[in-house]
């Protein structure tokens, strides 16, 4: 079976390299290495406004869609005004990823949302977000050190028999988190399958009835011991295998 192609949505940021300081499509390398470690091929997907109306051509090129972490989602996409702590939004990225997510789910492609990506899945399904978790719980434990996973470990309780538990390989899972927003009202058809032991904040959501649609609020790509990305790539490999078998029969 060939290596599955995993499309990973990229951020739009200003970046410096060599003598250049310019806007860039940016993706942290640990997302790429996590996919490659699981025997997938990583394909970076920068926002493309022309694909918002018709994402199918892009989805034909990949076997699984990974929604990476990054900037806050524009609250206009879920019908709210911006909280003072909601910053650095990139509406064109949001529109692109929402369109891709909806179309990927319709095609039954495997989808893994990580941190912001979990929130994006929820928004794509019509849900809303808590824009600043400390307002709700009165602590900063979900993002202890800004820009670092130092001291970020905490336990998440996963629902027995859920996709989240199967992907993690256990029901009590130690995670690395770095976020200040979270799921509020669940989107259509989604279920919560993981809860933080610190405060009952949803930390995993999934869509029953689909091959693999999972959002995790933590960062499995930053944890070499995590099996979550591997489980997602394995689901994408099954898609790639079926597509190859169909071509062979033609």
Read off the pLDDT of residues 98-128 as tens digits, 9 standing for 90 and up.
999 999 999 999 999 999 999 999 999 999 9
Among 119, 101, 97, 124, which residue's Cα sits nearest to residue 111? 101
Q: Please, what is the Cα angle at 113 between 221 and 145, to 5 degrees? A: 55
pLDDT by residue (tens digit) across 20-57?
999 999 999 999 999 999 999 999 999 999 999 999 99
Measured between alpha carbons, how far is 81 from 74 in angstroms, rounded to an integer? 9
pLDDT-derived band at 228, boundaries 50, 70, 90: very high
> In this predicted structure, what is the pLDDT of residue 178?
87
Are the C-beta atoms of residues 235 and 219 closer than 8 Å to each other? no
pLDDT-derived band at 196, boundaries 50, 70, 90: very high
> In this predicted structure, what is the pLDDT of residue 193?
98
Q: What are phi and psi of 76, to 5 degrees?
A: -60, -25
Report the predicted TM-score, pTM, of the whole model to 2 decimal places.
0.94
pLDDT by residue (tens digit) across 236-248?
999 988 766 665 6
The catalytic residue among 9, 115, 180, 206 is 115
pLDDT-derived band at 146, boundaries 50, 70, 90: confident
Q: What is the DSSP letter of 150?
A: T
pLDDT by residue (tens digit) across 64-89?
999 999 999 999 999 999 999 999 99
Are the C-beta atoms of residues 213 and 191 closer than 8 Å to each other? no
Report helix, strand or coil for 79.
coil
Q: Which residues contact 78 (CB under 8 A, 6 or more apart)?
A: 123, 127, 128, 129
- The count of structural domains within the chain is 1
Known catalytic residue at 219: yes
Give Cα separations from 58 to 7, 48, 53, 179 (angstroms): 9, 10, 12, 29
> In this predicted structure, what is the pLDDT of residue 247?
58
In DSSP terms, which residues pair with 26 in a beta bridge? 11
Tokens of 49: 């406004």
The catalytic residue among 142, 154, 173, 219 is 219
pLDDT by residue (tens digit) across 122-137?
999 999 999 998 887 7
> In this predicted structure, what is the pLDDT of residue 245?
62
pLDDT by residue (tens digit) across 200-221?
899 999 999 999 999 999 999 9
CATH number where 142 lies: 3.40.50.880
What's the mean pLDDT in 11-20? 93
Q: What is the DSSP letter of 142?
A: T
Known catalytic residue at 115: yes
What pairing do the DSSP bridges indicate for beta strands 41-45 and 5-9? parallel
Measured between alpha carbons, how far is 217 from 233 in angstroms, rounded to an integer? 18
> In this predicted structure, what is the pLDDT of residue 248?
60
Known catalytic residue at 178: no
Residue listed under structure tokens 């849900």: 127
> In this predicted structure, what is the pLDDT of residue 127?
98
| Domain range for 237 | 5-249
Give Cα separations from 230 to 1, 12, 224 (angstroms): 16, 26, 10
> In this predicted structure, what is the pLDDT of residue 150?
79
Are the C-beta atoms of residues 222 and 149 closer than 8 Å to each other? yes
Measured between alpha carbons, how far is 24 from 46 in angstroms, rounded to an integer? 9
Sign of CA dihedral 239, 47, 73, 150: positive
């Amino acid at each position: 079976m060939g290596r599955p192609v995993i499309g990973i949505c990229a951020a739009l940021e200003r970046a410096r390299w060599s003598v250049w300081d310019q806007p860039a499509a940016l993706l942290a390398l640990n997302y790429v290495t996590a996919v490659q470690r699981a025997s997938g091929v990583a394909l970076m997907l920068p926002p493309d406004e022309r694909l918002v109306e018709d994402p199918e051509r892009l989805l034909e090129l990949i076997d699984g869609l990974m929604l990476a972490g990054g900037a806050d989602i524009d609250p206009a996409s879920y019908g709210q005004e911006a909280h003072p702590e909601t910053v650095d939004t990139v509406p064109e990225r949001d529109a692109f990823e929402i369109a891709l997510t909806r179309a990927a789910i319709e095609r039954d492609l495997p989808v893994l949302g990580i941190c912001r990506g979990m929130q994006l899945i929820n928004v794509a399904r019509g849900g809303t977000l808590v824009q600043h978790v400390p307002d709700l719980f009165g602590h900063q434990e979900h993002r202890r050190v800004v820009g670092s996973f130092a001291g970020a470990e905490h336990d998440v309780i996963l629902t027995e028999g859920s996709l989240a538990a199967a992907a993690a390989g256990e029901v009590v899972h130690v995670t690395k988190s770095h976020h200040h927003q979270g799921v509020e009202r669940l989107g259509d058809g989604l279920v919560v399958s993981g809860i933080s032991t610190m405060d009952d904040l949803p930390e995993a959501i999934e869509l029953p009835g689909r091959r693999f649609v999972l959002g995790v609020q933590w960062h499995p790509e930053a944890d070499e011991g995590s099996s979550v990305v591997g489980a997602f790539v394995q689901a994408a490999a099954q898609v790639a295998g079926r597509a190859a078998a169909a071509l062979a029969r033609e």
